[in-house]
Amino acid sequence: MKKKKLKKKICVVGMGYVGSVSAIIFANIMENKTSKYDVIGIEKNDKMGQEKINKLNSGKFITKTNDSKIQSYLKKAKKLNSLSIKSNYEDLKTADYVVIAVNLDLKGNENKPKINFSNLIKITNIIGASIKKDATIILETTVPPGTCDTIIMPIILKNFKIRQIKTAPNIIHSYERVTPGKNYIKSIKKSFRIYSSSNKEAEKKFKFLYRDVIDLKKFSLIKLDKFIESESAKILENSYRAVNIAFIQEWTHFSLENKLSISKILNVIKLRKTHNNIMRPGLGVGGYCLTKDPLFAYFSNREFFKNKNNKFEISRTSMRINRNMPNFTYKIVKDIFKNKKKLKIAVFGITYKEDVGDIRFSPSKALIEKLEKNNFNIDVYDPLIDKLPQNIKAKLNLKFDYDKYDLIIFIVKNKLANKINFSNFRNNKKKIHIIDTDNCLNKKNIDLINKKKLKFINLNA
Ligand SMILES: NC(=O)c1ccc[n+]([C@@H]2O[C@H](COP(=O)([O-])OP(=O)(O)OC[C@H]3O[C@@H](n4cnc5c(N)ncnc54)[C@H](O)[C@@H]3O)[C@@H](O)[C@H]2O)c1
């Protein structure tokens, strides 16, 4: 009897926003009418980890998302029986590919950033002690430049030496550029994929896997020569964005103070091709990446390369400005209400961006915390969240009451915001104020607000 060909196995360590969706995509790759790979997701055994494991194993995604493709990909993976999530590392022993997509958190701030590598070191040791000698390790986690050469490679080599493996390890650094939201899956598939590799064998195997992930008709896999080059590409890319956001904040201040139309100013600047992606005002910077990555180069320069000369002043200043951005909106609120007490505020959007239920480092959350600390009473309207963080007293997603609020702040575009009928405020009991921090309201509603002469501050006016 002909022996059934064993499928190649991919282990993805870390079932967060990056790892879970990568695993789902791998589990949907097809060959001969079946899945090409057996995909094992590995997640921590703690309470949050177990929640993710249970959700994914029962065909649900780890969080609410407006990308409908995620559900259909999960459904297909279930049908193909190609995805299984576990809390042990046993499958590493038989894996052909090991993708590392764990978090690497930043502690401290722009004055003294600290990174605790112990988790990444632990995982790398487990991988080095378990994998087959020809398995390929792909590091997707965002790391300070120099991490692959200083930490990952030496740990794998040390473990190979203990195991008397003489083969050079196959290691790839290929950072993730996913944008969670409406186009979550598309943002992985339709994107140039940058990588660097330890040797030709690793490169060949990486290309073999990712030719089925990336849409190679329009995009490509781009090799950089050294690990530190691809590590730096990720950090520079995100630092560039953070710096540009901070820069526009200065002009948002200036425009509001001097009653200028920032949107008109930005629109004429955008007519120059070189400037057409200029940033616009918003509440602030949030999410897991832009709130840490701009400090990674400063960290590695000091800690890995012992170089104290280049202090990455611009990146560090942008981090400070971006962190303080919610205070700017807070000051607007304080100026409107001076010392009035017992005021009620509706906040639309607590996630860090639209279309995904992720509130990590959300500027909206920072603003809510500050408002609550100063005795404002808040209700939050956000369809992508089931519960609010424990430290927030606010109530979530109530039936909207037109007579209840003194102020409505629109922070993240969500489907509840444009359901409000602004003409209902005409005869309501309270004099309502409205702030739109991030182009959340559509033109029809803005026209209505202006027609009704409601008090309106639009950061993007
Ligand atoms: N979220 C994004 O949009 C995004 C985009 C591009 C790049 N990245 C980068 O990708 C990496 C992962 O980001 P994320 O948003 O998915 O983080 P996350 O915190 O959502 O996911 C990381 C997961 O790894 C798990 N994990 C940690 N240690 C583990 C261990 N020892 N064993 C098993 N599981 C473990 C965590 O429990 C968590 O579920 C980060 O470096 C991040 O900067 C994130």
Q: Per residue in 286-345, pLDDT tens?
A: 999 999 999 999 999 999 999 989 999 999 999 999 999 999 999 999 999 987 888 999
State residue 1's pLDDT score.
63
CA of 376 to the centre of ligand 1 (A): 34
Cα of 280 vs its chain's centroid, Å: 19
Tokens matching residue 85: 């999530």
Rounded Cα–Cα distance for residues 458 and 461 (Å): 5
The half-sphere exposure of 142 on its side-chain side, counting CA atoms within 13 A, is 26
| Contact in structure between 205 and 383 (CB atoms under 8 Å) | no
pLDDT at residue 30 tops 90: yes
Looking at residue 133, its amino acid is K
Write down the residue that tokens 């979530």 correspond to: 396
Residue among 47, 39, 45 nearest 19 (CA)? 39
Rounded Cα–Cα distance for residues 136 and 138 (Å): 6
Tokens matching residue 247: 């820069």
pLDDT at residue 2 tops 70: no
Ligand 1 atom 7: the closest Cα is on which residue? 176
DSSP 130: H
CA dihedral 102, 227, 24, 15 (to 10 degrees): 0
pLDDT tens digit sequence for 52-106: 999 999 999 999 999 999 999 999 999 999 999 999 999 999 999 999 999 999 9
Ligand 1 atom 36: the closest Cα is on which residue? 14
∠ CA 142-146-150, nearest 5°, is: 110
| Contact in structure between 170 and 132 (CB atoms under 8 Å) | no
State residue 419's pLDDT score.
86
425-436 burial: b if 16+ Cβ within 10 Å, else e: beeeeeebbbbb
| Mean pLDDT, rounded, of the chain | 95
| Contact in structure between 41 and 86 (CB atoms under 8 Å) | yes
State residue 451's pLDDT score.
87
Ligand 1 atom 39: the closest Cα is on which residue? 16
Tokens matching residue 250: 């200065």
Element (H, E) at 215: none
CA of 105 to the centre of ligand 1 (A): 9
Ligand 1 atom 35: the closest Cα is on which residue? 14
CA dihedral 23, 28, 33, 38 (to 10 degrees): 10
Testing ligand 1's pocket by substitution, the residue of 288, 354, 358 carrying the most ligand atoms inside 8 A of its CB is 288
What DSSP string runs through 33-98? TEESEEEEEE--SSHHHHHHHHHHHTT--SS-BS-HHHHHHHHHHHHHT-EEEESS-GGGGG-SEE
In this structure, which topology does domain 259-458 adopt according to CATH?
Rossmann fold (3.40.50)
CA of 218 to the centre of ligand 1 (A): 28
DSSP 3: P
pLDDT at residue 428 tops 70: no
304 CB-contact burial (10 Å; exposed 0-12 / middle 13-18 / buried 19+)? middle
Q: 162: pLDDT confidence band, cut at 50, 70 and 90?
A: very high
Ligand 1 atom 12: the closest Cα is on which residue? 103
The residue extents of the domains of the chain are 8-225, 259-458
**Could you identify the atom of ligand 1 that is nearest to the CA of residue 122?**
31
Rounded Cα–Cα distance for residues 187 and 199 (Å): 28
Residue among 391, 260, 248 nearest 322 (CA)? 248
| Contact in structure between 234 and 47 (CB atoms under 8 Å) | no
State residue 335's pLDDT score.
92
**Could you identify the atom of ligand 1 that is nearest to the CA of residue 140?**
10
Q: What is the pTM of this model?
A: 0.95
Helix (H, G, I), strand (E, B) or coil at 379: strand
Q: Do domains 8-225 and 259-458 have the same CATH topology?
A: yes
| Contact in structure between 270 and 295 (CB atoms under 8 Å) | no
Q: Are strands 344-348 and 407-410 parallel, antiparallel or unpaired?
A: parallel
Tokens matching residue 94: 């038989």
Crossing angle of the two packed helices 227-257 and 313-337, in degrees rounded to 10? 30
Q: 426: pLDDT confidence band, cut at 50, 70 and 90?
A: low
State residue 13's pLDDT score.
98
CA of 100 to the centre of ligand 1 (A): 9
Rounded Cα–Cα distance for residues 314 and 302 (Å): 16
CA of 372 to the centre of ligand 1 (A): 30
Testing ligand 1's pocket by substitution, the residue of 98, 121, 176, 241 carrying the most ligand atoms inside 8 A of its CB is 176
Ligand 1 atom 18: the closest Cα is on which residue? 16
In this structure, which topology does domain 8-225 adopt according to CATH?
Rossmann fold (3.40.50)
CA of 389 to the centre of ligand 1 (A): 20
pLDDT tens digit sequence for 347-379: 999 999 999 899 999 999 999 999 999 999 999
Residue among 291, 284, 297 nearest 332 (CA)? 284
Rounded Cα–Cα distance for residues 352 and 358 (Å): 6
CA of 221 to the centre of ligand 1 (A): 22
According to DSSP, the residues that pair with 97 across neighbouring strands are 10, 136
Residue among 406, 402, 438, 404 nearest 421 (CA)? 402
Testing ligand 1's pocket by substitution, the residue of 11, 13, 17 carrying the most ligand atoms inside 8 A of its CB is 17
Residues with Cβ within 6 A of ligand 1?
13-19, 42-44, 49, 52, 101-104, 119, 123, 140-142, 176-178, 180, 288-289
Residue 36's contacts (CB-CB under 8 Å, 6 or more residues apart) are 7, 8, 29, 30, 212
**Could you identify the atom of ligand 1 that is nearest to the CA of residue 123?**
31
